[in-house]
Structure 1
Amino acid sequence: MADAKGNGLIDREKLLHDTAQVVVLGDPGVGKSSLIAAATESFDPNPPPCLPPTRLPPEAENVPLLVKDTSSRSDNSSPLREVLKDVDVVLLCYAVDMATSIRRLKDYWLPELHKLEDTLPIVLCGCKMDNAPEEYSLEMQRRQLDELVKEFRQVETAIECSAQSYSFVQEVFQFTLKAVIFPQLPLYDNMSQKLRPRCAQALRRVFMLCDHDRDGRLNEREINAFQIACFNTPLQPNELTGVLETVGAQLPAGVESDGLTLAGFLFLNALFLEGGRFETSWQVLRRFGYTNHLTISDELIDDVNFEIGPDQIMELTDKSIAFLRNWFGKLDNDKTGGVREAKVFSEMDETTPERIWSGPVWKSVLVANPHVGRISLEGFLSSWRYSMLIHPKATLKQLLYLGCDSQEVTALCASSKPRRLERKERLSRSVVQCLVFGAKGSGKTSLLRGLVGAGSPSSQGLEPNHDYVAVASVASPQHGQKTLVLREVGSEAAAKLLKEAPPEAGSQPEGTHLEAADVAVFVFDGNDAKSFAEAQGLMLQASTAAGNALPCLFVAAKLDAPMPLDIKSTTAACCKELSMRPPIPVSHAKGEFASVYRTLVDVAVAPGPKDLPETPARRASRIRHVWRALMSGEREAVGF
């Protein structure tokens, strides 16, 4: 079955601690300690105020329970927040013969637990069942409990027992363990009687992956493939007919041409959950790689090696790009190359629990988009490529949420070779990174705006004194299509960057670092000698800090008229001394940026002799190397 991990379920025990931990709470005298003692078949009518932690052996689910008692004595009790630490489930007790203990569930315990831990599952346990009041009062109690189960979403179930007669004691702890392994809370809202949003997202993805012919319905063959994958058995013809008739009778839109539509599939799962069949739904969800939080498990991407060096990158493969093009194309009904942003995100939200391209980092990212509120295919793909660059693991999961097949997860992304090895042949990575240095007001931001289109909404109204990132595709006649990432490095960031050591292997920082750069460009105002002097100083520092292996270029910005002769003479002398190519002139008014981006790509892929500055540090290093070679030769000549 597509997206099933191997031949078995995602290991449930990996979703828990080695032992599921339960804390038993309740008013004094309700029977907490007696219940725990009875679970070990050692009922004590006069138990101590608080039992030590009790470990119950694993049963059907093969997960042991560690049961923690709580003291009812004020001088021996801990704050509730402390009691709940590292706990997986709460067993909240009341006594069926103590009406006040039932009222306290609603007036104190449940509101307080919700305030402190609003996702912790709760099982209500009525102790002293053998002392139950008359039938009328008992019926009223149970109606009250039903209301509590509906009102407080954390309550998984309610059950009664007798520690003295051992009646239903084992069942209490079985329900408690199931509340951990098959929790209701993430799946179903008792109050509204609807699937919770994340559960609906997960089931939409399951439907999409099972709909192999992409016709919007599950036919008999697809339903049985789903059944075999999740439950190891197909439906019998009469069972399939029964399912379709049940759904069709209550939701006519749920059945189409003898198949289940998405609406029908969601409705059927809601019926299971309404009937308390949480184990069935969890079996499906875990088969398709979901954790208890209804996020995709790391197990699905275990085969991908994210441990890379600082001069390597993770990038999307052609297979991923083809999938994304197809996904976007289905939204672009009028084939204009642009889709409403709201439509793109709405479609992604159908199956994705967390929106991609959100958070502070993305407020600084510029991509090419045609109009305000619209996303172009180029901007869409650029955002994905940049996301893979800075958040590879999360981006890969996003692809799976959208419907990529996890059976081929290693074919969706790849790590580049270390740059020093890759350049022996020619840089083959599809994404190249450029750091953009320069003095304030030199034209750095305009260079970034030009990459995505100066008229692009994403490049309008940029804040001053803020470092941006621009991402776009650049066509090089020599090296084909590459994605160019321009990272602006302001004065504050430059001071920090040029002093820091490179990051450790395996890290993928959101900021900049020299080891990650394929090329650096130093922008200066072509009419300002001081601006060039600052760019020159930054270039010398950056080249030296990068071990003289960083290709560097100068860009003379704001040249709407020829460069003044004195500045032209100064720059020419500097470039001659450093054996660098002359500055690339650009005019902001004329928008002459295209040649700059092509040059940056060409230099990043295959730097020439004039792209590595002959700095004083590089010359000194070369002299030391020659001297060591000469000295080594002399020692060999005299027998050393």
Structure 2
Amino acid sequence: MADAKGTGPLDREKLLYDTAKVVVLGDPGVGKSSLIAAATESFDPNPPPCLPPTRLPPQMENVPLLVTDTSSRSENSASLREVVKDVDVVLLCYAVDMMSSIQRLKDYWLPELRKLETGRPIVLCGCKMDNAPDEYSFEIQRLQLEELLKEFREIETAIECSARTLSFVQEVFHFVLKAVIHPQLPLYDTMNQKLKPRCAQALRRVFLLCDHDRDNRLSEREINAFQIACFNTPLQPDELVSVLETVGEKIPHGVKDNGLTLPGFMFLNALFMERGRFETSWQVLRRFGYTNELTLSDELIQEVSFDISPDQTMELTDRAIVFLTDWFNKLDSGKTGGVKEAKIVSEMEETTPEHIWSGPEWDSVLVANPHAGRVTLEGFLSNWRYSMLIHPKETLKQLLYLGCDSQEVVDLCTTTKRRKLERREQLSRSVLQCLVFGSKGCGKTSLLRGLVGSSAPTAQGLEAGHNYVAVASVTSPQFGERTLVLKEVGPEAASALLKQDGEGGPLEAVDVAAFVFDGNDAKSFAEAQSLMLQVSTTAGDYLPCLFVASKLDQPMAPDLKSDCAACCAELKMREPLPISAQNGEFGSLFRTLVETAVRPGPKDIPETPARKAAKIRRLWMQRLLLAGVAGVVALGVAVYVVPRMRGEGRPDGTDVARARGPGRGGRAR
């Protein structure tokens, strides 16, 4: 494929680097200030101790350099951290006629820079080349530098120059700028001559996006489409033949049916890097949205707005679900209905820098699995839907990493309507959130296990006192298939949630709440009742609420049953829904939760004391308003209508007859 030389500057590079910042470090007397002065084509044999920041005109990709000199009098690590924190590259200098300055690179400068973990590329510059040492000393220096390059992989390149004779000074700053715009470090391991892992991931994704017909090879048409997209020019027929022959000679399986396979595509890119043409690879990577850290740029999803109200959510569209279903089915080639979790992770890591479902947050998520270590399609999609619910921006990027076209990103997600606008109708959202409250040991976790199936971890296998999340699809005859998210809320978590709630608080995002109690424990029911009153009142008396009686392997005790009935009658709620996790009997609980969330019925909003008081206030306000309107109407009748009917005059006291004047044929007095 064509080299990037001669092509115009990339817009993405301009956006990333309006100005490239470089700091010049090194021991006293190595020639730092003279090097900076020489970059402006002047040489001062007695430069000041520290030059002011110097701006060099644009060279590569129309990006200027801002060069900052440093004083060498202090070796304080805190001050070193300060000078390198906002730069793009470090220019580390030594003097070729000072053996001690080379040793200091190894003993002080490079270890200190590594401790700071800035991730900035380093360019080594040997100053005072015009004072080159004898052949013996030169060989020692060469060996020392080779050891440094092996030990400190953050070094991009090493070059020597002379400020006095202006020899190779411009080349020094060319390599400095190249280390910023086309860094070698993230792409290629020169010592082992292979692609870095993140670079390999990025190039695999590029291959997927260019393989439009998904036949695992880039045809001549697809290669030229790639070439035009990245370099604005197609390959000539003889150039294409040459490329395929070069790849075929080295790796025969890299070419298939006059097209490039993935191994061939990877080999070709590695070949460019081996020859030092990193600008070619960077032009490809930036064309497909990659930053210098080889992560996808936020620019790819800038058309999507993530600014939503607390009672709104973001969901995957049918288009995204179809893509994920196809992706999963390719892994489940044997149509077994489940794929090993390790296989899913491995496949995602082929193109994704980080696993989307990792960390403590995901250790608490339960989805449908046929058995330990395997994931069903429903479980796979449930993970994605929940991920979109809690981390929409990161989830969209993950879809792009897997091979979704960034030009279609706006078609991959949708924002739900505000719940306040949907209350008079039914919720249109497909992912519904339910908080599951209850005292310790009342059966909340067992209820969550029931949603995802008996294959979920057993109660003994789950951490006691931990709040879990269960996600699964539920089908309602009325409202079709919806994804139900059950979030367990223990007593401590409930207290914290109620303290922080208010307008725009956590309860704004909830569609329905379930209050679980032990069906054989009156105290457990009393706690559920108290908690329900607090939650409903805090939510503004609009949140649908249900009581769930768990552990009903035997009928509920008569006294407790009577108390439940009296409570529900007073609150105008439906009676508790009975379940038995031990017998696996959940009845229609999950379907009821979905239907209650989508379209709450008259018995789904509790008649709490606060709600009753609000109703009374509204009733009195209506009565007062009606009385006021009636009074105004009566006053109008009295003032305007009655006098006219009686003929007693007008409101201003003028006699009606006089106002009319003399009648026809009469005479005026």
TM-score range, shorter chain: over 0.9
In structure 2, the partner of 1:97 is 97
SS of aligned partner of 1:486: strand
Question: 1:468-504: CA deviations, max 9, x gaps?
Answer: 1111111111111111000111000111111223475
Shift of the alpha carbon at 1:248? 1.5
Indicate the larger mover: 421-430 or 225-234: 421-430
Q: CA deviation at 1:163?
A: 1.1
Alpha carbons 1:371, 1:457 under 8 Å: kept: no
Q: Aligned AA for 1:232? A: N
Structure 2 residue 532 is the aligned partner of structure 1 residue 539? yes
**After the TM superposition, which of the residue ranges 463-472 and 595-604 deviates more from structure 2?**
463-472
Residue type of the partner of 2:15? K
Any residues of structure 2 matched to 1:158-237 within 5 Å, and which?
A: 158-237=158-237
- Distance (whole Å) between structure 1 residues aligned to residue 387 and residue 157 of structure 2: 42
Secondary structure of 1:498's counterpart equals: helix
Counterpart AA for 1:310: P
Partners of 1:80 and 1:125 in 2: CA distance:
19
C-alpha distance in structure 2 between counterparts of 1:154 and 1:498, whole Å:
50
1:383 aligns with 2:383: yes
d(CA) in 1 for partners of 2:446 and 2:503?
29
Number of the residue aligned with 1:346: 346
Is the Cα contact below 8 Å between 2:514 and 2:545 reproduced in 1? yes
Partner of 2:16: 15
Question: For 2:615, which of 609, 622, 634 is the aligned residue?
Answer: 622
| Counterpart secondary structure, 1:73 | coil
Contact 1:118 1:154 in 2 (8 A): no
- Of residues 601, 608, 629 in structure 2, which corresponds to 1:608? 601
> Conserved in 2, the CA contact under 8 Å of 1:312 and 1:417?
yes
What is the aligned partner in structure 2 of residue 593 from structure 1? Answer: 586
Greater C-alpha radius of gyration: 2
Q: Deviations over 1:6-32 (max 9, x none)?
A: x9956223334x432211111221100
Contact kept? 2:77, 2:112, Cα under 8 Å = no
Cα deviation digits, residues 202-225 of structure 1 (max 9, x gap): 000001111111111111111111
Aligned positions of 1:179-578 closer than 5 A:
179-457=179-457, 461-502=461-502, 504=504, 513-578=506-571
Aligned partner of 1:53 in structure 2 is: 53
Work out whether residues 340 and 374 of structure 1, in 8 Å CA contact, stay in contact via their aligned partners in 2.
yes
- Give the Cα–Cα distance (whole angstroms) in 2 for the partners of residues 503 and 172 of structure 1: 58
What CA distance in whole angstroms lies between the structure 1 residues aligned with 2:303 and 2:332?
34
Question: Secondary structure at the residue paired with 2:62?
Answer: coil
**Deviation at residue 193 of structure 1 after TM alignment:** 1.3
- For residue 159 of structure 1, what is the amino acid of its counterpart? I
Report if the CA contact (8 A) 1:49-1:73 is conserved: no
2:14 is matched by which residue type in structure 1? E
Counterparts of 1:29 and 1:551 in 2: how far apart (Å)?
76
Distance in 2, matches of 1:538 and 1:529, equals 14
Task: Assess if the C-alpha contact under 8 Å between 2:372 and 2:455 holds in 1.
Answer: no
Task: Give the SS at the match of 1:543.
Answer: helix
- Once the two structures are superposed, residues 360-387 of structure 1 have per-residue CA deviations (whole angstroms, 9 ceiling, x without a partner) of 1111111111111111111111111100
TM-score by length of 1: 0.94
How many angstroms does 1:81 deviate by?
2.5
Q: Distance in 1 between matches of 2:336 and 2:11?
A: 42
Counterparts in 2 of 1:202 and 1:65: CA distance versus 1, 3 Å: same
Name the CA distance, whole Å, in 2 between partners of 1:323 and 1:214.
13
Distance 1:455 1:467, change over 3 A: same
1:115 offset after TM fit, Å?
Answer: 2.7
Which of 282-291 and 166-175 deviates more? 166-175
Q: Distance in 2 between matches of 1:468 and 1:76?
A: 49
Given residue 408 of structure 1, which amino acid in structure 2 is its aligned partner? E
Q: Is the partner of 1:133 in helix, strand or coil?
A: coil
2:132 aligned with 1:132: yes
Q: TM-score, normalised by structure 2?
A: 0.90
1:293-324 per-position Cα deviation (integer Å, ceiling 9, x unaligned): 11111000001111111111111111111111
| Equivalent residue number for residue 624 of structure 2 | 631
**Shift in alpha-carbon separation, 1:320–1:411, aligned structure 2, 3 A:** same
| TM-superposed deviation, 1:74 | 4.0
The farther-off stretch of 614-623 and 117-126 is 117-126
Q: How does 1:21-60 map to 2 (within 5 A)?
A: 21-60=21-60
Q: Give the corresponding residue for 2:660.
A: none
Query: What secondary structure is seen at the aligned counterpart in 1 of 2:547?
Result: strand
Rounded to whole Å, the distance in 2 between the matches of 1:295 and 1:350 is: 14
More divergent stretch after superposition (45-54 vs 311-320): 45-54
CA-to-partner distance for each residue in 1:503-548, whole Å, 9 max, x for gaps?
75xxxxxxx9211110001111111111111111111111100100
Residue 106 of structure 1 deviates from its aligned partner by 3.1
- What residue in structure 1 maps to residue 638 of structure 2? none
CA 1:153 to 1:594, structure 2 compared with 1: closer, same or farther past 3 Å? Answer: farther
Deviation for aligned residue 1:422: 2.6
Q: What's the offset of the Cα at 1:569? A: 0.7
- Name which of structure 1's ranges 575-584 and 52-61 shifts more when overlaid on structure 2: 52-61
Relative contact order (alpha carbons < 8 A, sep ≥ 6): 1 or 2 greater?
1
Worse-superposed segment, 63-72 or 319-328? 63-72
Instruction: Give the residue type in structure 1 aligned to 2:571.
Output: L
Residue range with higher mean Cα deviation, 415-424 or 27-36? 415-424
Partner of 1:111: 111
| Cα separation, partners in 2 of 1:151 and 1:503, compared to 1, 3 Å | farther
Alpha-carbon distance in 1 for matches of 2:75, 2:229: 55
Q: Verify the 8 A CA contact 1:10 1:289 in the aligned structure 2.
A: no
CA spacing shift, 1:558–1:457, aligned 2, 3 Å: closer
Amino acid corresponding to residue 347 of structure 1 in structure 2 = E
- Between the aligned partners of 1:423 and 1:236, the Cα distance in structure 2 is 63
Residue 637 of structure 1, CA deviation: 4.5
Per-residue CA deviations over 1:364-423 (Å, capped at 9, x if unaligned) read 111111111111111111111100000000001000000011111011011100012234
Whole-Å Cα distance in 1 between the matches of residues 137 and 556 of structure 2? 96
Q: 1:57 to 1:78 in 2, by over 3 A?
A: farther
Deviations 1:49-95 (A, max 9, x none): 22222222333323222212122224999743333221211101122
The CA RMSD over aligned residues, in Å, is: 2.1
User: Identity rate of aligned residues, in percent?
Assistant: 73
SS at match of 1:609: coil
Larger deviation: 621-630 or 207-216? 621-630
Residue 173 of structure 1, CA deviation: 1.3
Q: 1:430-458 CA distances to partner (integer Å, 9 max, x unpaired)?
A: 10010111111111111111001133247
- Decide whether aligned partners of structure 1 residues 361 and 247 sit closer, same or farther in structure 2, where only a CA change above 3 A counts: same
Q: Is the 8 A contact 1:352 1:402 kept in 2?
A: yes
Given that 1:560 and 1:590 are in contact with CA atoms closer than 8 Å, whether structure 2 keeps it comes out as yes
Distance (whole Å) between structure 2 residues aligned to residue 549 and residue 126 of structure 1: 73
Return 317-326 or 212-221, whichever deviates more: 212-221
Gaps of 5+ in 1: 1-6, 505-511
Contact 2:24-2:68 within 8 A present in 1 as well: yes
In 2: Cα distance, 1:425 partner to 1:8 partner: 54
Task: Name the counterpart of 1:508.
Answer: none
> For 1:76 and 1:519, how far apart are their aligned partners in 2?
58
* 1:252 positional shift: 1.9
Counterpart-to-counterpart distance in 2, 1:138 and 1:263: 42
Residue 448 of structure 2 aligns with an amino acid whose one-letter code is L
